[in-house]
Structure formats: structure tokens, C-alpha cells
Amino acid sequence: MINNKLKLAIQKNGRLTEETVSFLRSSGLEFESYQQRLFSTCRNFPLEIVYVRDDDISDYVESGAVDLGVVGQNLINEIRPNVKKLLNLRYGFCSLSLAVPKESTIKSVKELENKTIATSYPSSTEYFFKKQNIKVNIIKIKGSVEITPILGIASAIVDLVSTGSTLALNDLRIIEKLYDSEAVLLANPLSLKNEKKTKIIDKLLIRFKGVLSAKNYKYVMMNAPIQILPKIKKAIPGLKSPTISPLANPGWISIQSVIKEDVFWQTIEKLKKLGASDILVLPVEKLII
């Protein structure tokens, strides 16, 4: 650990770069970042950010060249490095999927027996077919996997899909999903055994978890007649109990609480039905539980 600083590797220039940089910034880390940088030093935290190709990140974390890394779960599933996953970061969502040409007669995985599959994820693909006892011929392609069926090289492909527009553009349809993926935070196992480093990693994790929890909640304020308070309390599965303050209008109160994103609209509908009004909703910046 040079200068007592922890090292974190992130993607230099790709799909995860922008969201990773913005996630780190929303965790309160201050640093400069621009395309030509090899690394940035945080001004307000003992952390150095190293910019590398995503394919190298898990190797760097495994070897201890860096302590932490941010990479897609898909690469972890494919490379299976000896690293410890610390957090799912809730961005970079995609799935590794098996697809065939739209006009192909193939409808199930079994029908691919003895066929050729093109992919940049040969290990994940091999594991998937082996598990089902289906023999296939896997060819590794570095880029533009989606054009291999048109070229007559493969009967099917296994590739990452997010919006599905690349598949649609190449007349391909998904027949099965191998797994879902998102950006994850990795750590070198030895760094997690080093007392000095774990102290800093723990501090960083509190920040990261604060940002991630905040994403799952909305802050709500509303006015309501005092007699419906017990019902409102039941309707809001908030953190603890809501904050209540009296209003100038006698018999009315203002209620403040947080609502989980996944039950947000159901809860708001319930509150309206119960008689809550002037419902104000705000994003939560950080939530330290």
C-alpha cells in the first residue's frame, strides 16, 4: 500500500466507466478524471483509482496489484478469479443470453446438440451446455458475435444483451438466458486480511452502501387529518416510525417518512385513498442505516 492508499481499478473507457465514476463521486469521493488518465488520486480519501481495460481488472485484483475493482459480474462468471465479491452496484445491467436466427426452426436448447455456438464467453457457454449434457461446438469470437449466424459460421450465439436492439437488428431471438449481470465491487482476499486496509475498505463500504440504499428509497412528506394516522403508519412500511408535526390547521398533521422504491406507487395510492393530501416526494441522496 504505497502512501497508505488503497487502489481501486475501474474500466478506463467503456460501458461501465461513466456510471462507475459517477457512483464514486456520489459516494463523496473527490478526484479528477479524464480519458487520458492512468490513475487519479482522491483528494479527500486514501484511495487511488486506476483506469484499465475491463478484461484485466479481475487479474489485477486477484494478483494484488490493486486491492479493489469494479467489473461486470459476467466477467467474474467467465474468468472465475480468486477474488471476493463485496457488493452488487445496481448498474451495468445485462444478461448473457443464447440466441438463434429468427427464422431458425430451433426452439429449445436441446435442439442445438452438435451445432456450433459463437461467443466471447466460452467458459460460461461450455458450463451451461455441459450442465444439461448437450454436446456443442463452441467457437470463441472477440467482437461482433451477432453477425456469425448470418455469415454461416454458427447456428446460435451466446452474448450479452441489455436493450435487445442489437439482437433485433441482426434478426436474432433469445431462446434462453444463461445468467443476469450487473457491475460488482471485488476485493483481493489478502487485502481483506490486512488490518490497515480493511479499516479503509470498511469506511468505503459504508459510503457505497449509503448511496445504494438511498437509491431504493424515496422521501415523502404529506398532510393528513390526525385521526387517520394509525392507518397511515400501517400503510408506510418505512424505516422506523414516521416523523409527525402539527399543522396550523387544527386536527391536521404533517407526516414525513421514506418509502421503498419497489412498493412506491402502491403505497402512494393507499395513502391517497386513506385521505392523505399534498404528497411531496423527494429523492434520497444517502441513507446510512
The smaller minimum CB distance to Zn ion, of residues 55 and 278, is found at: 55
From the CB of residue 53, how many other CB atoms can be counted at a distance below 10 Å? Answer: 11
Using rule CB under 6 A, residue 78 touches ligand PRT: no
Residue 161 interacting partner from ligand PRT, Zn ion, none (CB closer than 5 to 8 Å by kind): ligand PRT
28 binds ligand PRT (CB under 6 A): no
- Residue 15's nearest CA partner among 205, 182, 209, 212 is 182
Q: If binding is defined by CB under 6 A, does position 75 make contact with ligand PRT?
A: yes
Q: By CB under 6 A, tell whether 15 contacts ligand PRT.
A: yes
Helix residue ranges per DSSP H, the chain = 17-26, 54-63, 73-79, 122-131, 165-169, 195-215, 229-235, 264-274
Binders of ligand PRT in range 89-108 (CB under 6 A): 92, 94
Query: C-beta of 14: minimal distance to ligand PRT in Å?
Result: 2
Least distance (Å) between residue 254 CB and ligand PRT: 42
Sheet-wide strand order for 47-52: 39-41, 47-52, 6-11, 68-72, 183-187, 84-88
User: Quick one: 134 or 160, whose CB is closer to ligand PRT?
Assistant: 160
Relative to beta strand 84-88, strand 39-41 is: unpaired
Contact 237, 263 (CB under 8 A): yes
Q: Which is nearer to Zn ion, 48 or 78 (CB)?
A: 78
Residues 27-56: x/- map of binding to Zn ion (CB under 5 A)? ---------------------------xx-
Q: How far is the CB of 92 from Zn ion (least distance, A)?
A: 13
The answer to whether 116 touches 154, Cβ cutoff 8 Å, is yes
Question: What CA–CA distance (Å, rounded) separates 41 from 24?
Answer: 12
Neighbours of 195 (CB within 10 A): 6
Q: Does 163 bind ligand PRT (CB under 6 A)?
A: yes
**How far is residue 173's CA from residue 142's CA, in Å, rounded to a whole number?**
21
Q: Counting contacts by CB under 6 A, is residue 160 touching ligand PRT?
A: yes
Residues that bind ligand PRT (CB under 6 A): 11, 14-16, 53-55, 72, 74-75, 92, 94, 159-166, 181
Residues that bind Zn ion (CB under 5 A): 54-55
